[in-house]
Structure 1
Amino acid sequence: MSNDISTSRPFVQVDGLAKTYRAGQPPVFEKVDFTIARGEFICIIGHSGCGKSTILNVLAGLERASAGTVIMDGREVAGPGLDRGVVFQSHALLPWLTVEGNIAFAVKSRHPDWPKEQVRAHGARFIDMVGLTSAARKKPAELSGGMKQRVGIARAFAVEPKMLLLDEPFGALDALTRGVIQDELLAICAATRQTVFMITHDVDEAILLADRIFLMSNGPQARIAEIVMNTLPKSRTRATIHHDPQFYPLRNHLVDFLLRRSKNVQQAGIDVTDLPLFTTDLEPT
């Protein structure tokens, strides 16, 4: 884990989180406990139905848990707020506004007293960060899928949230576009020291982006079965990551969990607090 991540106290503290949709049915997930340090990048992986998106929605304040608490920066999360930015699987842009207008709409919600020119200048900085300055006057219908997702990311960053929540934001993109945006996300997070909680089904993406990777057992009654430390150097890139001797042991462990162990943990009723923390045998550099 990077040395610039604060370890004085957890920035996010999640205790005993559970979600049940109907009385008499087992919870989708239960006994979910974890912490996130300020500036840390977390990826969460698990099969469909284990409640990943619901956990993210609870962190965002968009959904209420059946049990448990979420404390962020010393305050309980009880509803949505501009201290959390969310990027969904779809871009969710306003189709009648340009790229510039979509970003300005978000900035004005954060800073309603700012004059128009200040809003525009602030938004332009984040449009430039995602490489869309030349498309600032275009509407969503004129953009590719990857460009739309970049606008969504720029919009989330533009409100300067304390935590960024990403729900498989690159899942519908082709591999080349996904890679370009991953690089941009890494660069922005490094520059802003942004705290990120991200859902992904892509093991390689998690290894590239995350400081720690949360592995969910199968639902119902899913839990965080393992927390995997990413010991690869923070300077990792898409082009070189697979050459690192730590890459394949880490990747194989994640894939093995998804193929076999997540199901076994759920079926056997294993107390996940007894499972070890996984790291590669090599020291981080």
Structure 2
Amino acid sequence: MQTEPTTFTTPRPFLQIEGLAKTYPGATEPVFDQVNFTVAKGEFVCIIGHSGCGKTTILNVLAGLEQASAGQVFMDGREVNAPGLERGVVFQGHALMPWLSVRNNIAFAVRSKWPDWSAEQVRAHVEKYVALVGLTAALDKKPAALSGGMKQRVGIARAFAIEPKMLLLDEPFGALDALTRGTIQDELLTIVRDTGQTVFMITHDVDEAVLLADKVLLMSNGPTARVAEIVHNTMPRDRQRATVHHDPQYYPQRNHLVDFLVSRSKDLSNGRAPAHPPVVQPGLAAVSATPA
């Protein structure tokens, strides 16, 4: 009896970006073009590049808030072309409704996702996510009574509370002082690891990217910017902010990102970056070169 040959198919990535481009009306050149990358389910991806390379525009396209001029975005097998509650977004500003308490800001989002839930279900769900960001004592305070860091925690709790398939973060810690920023980074890492959340985050902070990301997308300078390189973080995923700099892979990876931003991003501008970026692992390369 003749048997059919076994065939293997590669599963489609959770998020797939193909040939993405954006040209604004009246412009002679695209902000970016031929942007191609993928994100696996449960992966934390940071994107870094100089101002004007289109990072926020890419995030807005992923959120469905902007339309690309060319290319496609697929998430979980479906094309993204409009906003949806399967994507949670946290911007640089907290975007809280000032007339509502912390509890009611988050409850508003929860009811949007699950309109049939009872008041008790909503209450329990809200309190769970407020506790995760350490704000139980501020549940019934309004935004005016909160510090900047606390407001950003509420925004993060609200985004997590709708249990999105993907979390989109646009420099959410950029306006915070270093101590508050570090504290919220630790909380975000804990929540992401506990929930297996998929995250796409814009940052200008190299140290933040090395701490948080499984993969870093490096953008060349605009116009006609592209994802010029994909850097895989080779350090253990359970890294901690207080000790990460002791890992022998830390500085090779950090220096690689800094070198790109300082020199190579400019050299790869104006469409000179490849449409399909190379994948590098600077930390592993450095470790393998170290004598035993």
TM-score, normalising length: structure 1: 0.94
Matched, 1:65 2:68: yes
How much has 1:116 moved relative to structure 2?
1.1
Matched, 1:107 2:110: yes
Matched, 1:130 2:133: yes
Whether the 8 Å contact between 1:21 and 1:27 is mirrored in structure 2 is yes
Whether the 8 Å contact between 1:17 and 1:68 is mirrored in structure 2 is yes
* Partner in structure 1 of residue 224 of structure 2: 221
Distance across 2 between alignment mates of 1:99 and 1:276: 42
How much has 1:271 moved relative to structure 2?
2.8
Distance across 1 between alignment mates of 2:79 and 2:271: 34
Summarize the alignment of residues 148-163 of structure 1 with structure 2, pairs less than 5 Å apart: 148-163=151-166
User: Residue deviations 1:207-259, cap 9 Å, x none?
Assistant: 00000000000000000000000001111111000111111111111000000
Whether the 8 Å contact between 2:256 and 2:282 is mirrored in structure 1 is no
Q: Which of 53, 74, 82 is the matching residue for 1:50? A: 53
* Partner in structure 2 of residue 16 of structure 1: 19
Distance across 2 between alignment mates of 1:129 and 1:201: 26
User: Residue deviations 1:79-123, cap 9 Å, x none?
Assistant: 000000000000000000000010100000001111111101111
How much has 1:8 moved relative to structure 2?
4.0
* Partner in structure 1 of residue 192 of structure 2: 189
Matched, 1:75 2:93: no
Distance across 2 between alignment mates of 1:57 and 1:119: 28
Q: Which of 248, 267, 273 is the matching residue for 1:264? A: 267
Summarize the alignment of residues 236-247 of structure 1 with structure 2, pairs less than 5 Å apart: 236-247=239-250
Structure 1's unaligned 5+ residue stretches are: 1-6
Structure 2's unaligned 5+ residue stretches are: 1-9
User: Residue deviations 1:172-208, cap 9 Å, x none?
Assistant: 0000000000000000001100000000000000000
The size of the alignment, in residue pairs, is: 277
Whether the 8 Å contact between 2:227 and 2:273 is mirrored in structure 1 is no
Whether the 8 Å contact between 2:88 and 2:166 is mirrored in structure 1 is yes
Distance across 2 between alignment mates of 1:121 and 1:274: 45
Task: Say what the alpha-carbon RMSD is for the aligned residues.
Answer: 1.4
Summarize the alignment of residues 199-210 of structure 1 with structure 2, pairs less than 5 Å apart: 199-210=202-213
Cα gap change, 1:249 to 1:257, in 2 (>3 Å): same
Summarize the alignment of residues 24-39 of structure 1 with structure 2, pairs less than 5 Å apart: 25-39=28-42
Whether the 8 Å contact between 2:35 and 2:275 is mirrored in structure 1 is no
Whether the 8 Å contact between 2:36 and 2:275 is mirrored in structure 1 is no
Whether the 8 Å contact between 2:224 and 2:271 is mirrored in structure 1 is no
Distance across 1 between alignment mates of 2:192 and 2:51: 27
User: Residue deviations 1:124-144, cap 9 Å, x none?
Assistant: 000000000000010000000
Comparing 261-270 with 113-122, which one deviates more in the overlay?
261-270
Distance across 1 between alignment mates of 2:173 and 2:143: 17
Matched, 1:167 2:176: no
Whether the 8 Å contact between 1:9 and 1:37 is mirrored in structure 2 is no
Whether the 8 Å contact between 2:220 and 2:273 is mirrored in structure 1 is no
* Partner in structure 1 of residue 3 of structure 2: none
Larger radius of gyration: 2
How much has 1:279 moved relative to structure 2?
2.8
Residue 59 of structure 2 aligns to a residue whose secondary structure is helix
User: Residue deviations 1:29-85, cap 9 Å, x none?
Assistant: 000001100000000000000000000000000000000000000100010000000
User: Residue deviations 1:131-179, cap 9 Å, x none?
Assistant: 0000001000000000000000000000000000000000000000000
Cα gap change, 1:88 to 1:24, in 2 (>3 Å): closer
TM-score, normalising length: structure 2: 0.92
Distance across 2 between alignment mates of 1:200 and 1:37: 19
Matched, 1:118 2:126: no
Give percent identity, aligned residues only: 69
Distance across 2 between alignment mates of 1:181 and 1:72: 27
Whether the 8 Å contact between 2:91 and 2:170 is mirrored in structure 1 is yes
Residue identity matched to 1:86: V
